[in-house]
């Protein structure tokens, strides 16, 4: 389908170029690059951002084991402790941007239940929704459930809210509510995040 779309876009693009008598090499080159992106990019973008089939997501992650950005997702989801640590070290060594470093450090710290380490880095995370998400996890792990709920009220991303509420209900031993929130979190998630939630809830709730 994407090739048909690219072909149709090509026809329209070249019609426009011909109609307006555009023969500037830069404009033609830009048009070619846009068409190439349309042909090549969607499969990866769709899989990482929109795919909901967990088996296809797993095959994608295993196929891309050599890419640390993808394999870290597989390692986290499947609780591969050594791989999580090694891949995080590789990412920290490769990317020096403060916000990225903070995110990698916080994810690893929370995975290994090192709350003090997570608290050192969490405020350096730039995207607000991720900062609030990880701050909420820290509060939940510290049993400050009321404080976590205050942060959750500020979140607009549905899967994040439901995932955190599932954690809170688990802490309160309200397992039926936790399962319901977990179901909602998974149903609202897409792409690689869907895979992590699926594997997590498969272990915790059996679905």
Cα 131 to Cα 124: distance, rounded to the nearest angstrom: 8
Q: Model confidence over 97-134: pLDDT tens digits?
A: 999 999 999 999 999 999 999 999 999 999 999 999 99
Contact 85, 75 (CB under 8 A): no
Q: Model confidence over 124-169: pLDDT tens digits?
A: 999 999 999 999 999 999 999 999 999 999 999 999 999 999 999 9
Mean per-residue pLDDT, 167-195:
97
pLDDT on residue 87: 97
pLDDT on residue 45: 80
Contact 182, 204 (CB under 8 A): yes
Cα 195 to Cα 73: distance, rounded to the nearest angstrom: 8
């Amino acid at each position: 389908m994407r090739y048909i779309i690219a072909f149709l876009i090509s026809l329209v693009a070249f019609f426009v170029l011909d109609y307006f008598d555009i023969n500037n090499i830069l404009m033609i080159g830009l048009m070619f690059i846009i068409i190439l992106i349309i042909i090549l990019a969607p499969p990866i973008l769709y899989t990482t951002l929109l795919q909901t089939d967990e088996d296809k997501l797993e095959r994608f992650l295993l196929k891309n084991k050599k890419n640390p950005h993808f394999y870290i997702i597989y390692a986290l989801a499947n609780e591969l402790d050594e791989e999580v640590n090694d891949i995080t070290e590789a990412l920290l060594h490769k990317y020096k941007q403060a916000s990225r470093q903070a995110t990698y450090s916080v994810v690893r710290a929370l995975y290994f239940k090192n709350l003090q380490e997570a608290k050192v880095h969490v405020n350096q995370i730039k995207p607000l929704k991720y900062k609030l998400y990880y701050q909420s996890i820290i509060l939940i792990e510290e049993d400050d459930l009321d404080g976590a709920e205050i942060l959750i009220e500020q979140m607009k991303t549905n899967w994040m809210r439901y995932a955190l509420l599932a954690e809170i209900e688990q802490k309160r031993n309200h397992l039926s509510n936790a399962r319901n929130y977990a179901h909602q979190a998974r149903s609202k998630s897409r792409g690689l995040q869907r895979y992590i939630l699926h594997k997590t809830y498969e272990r915790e709730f059996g679905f």
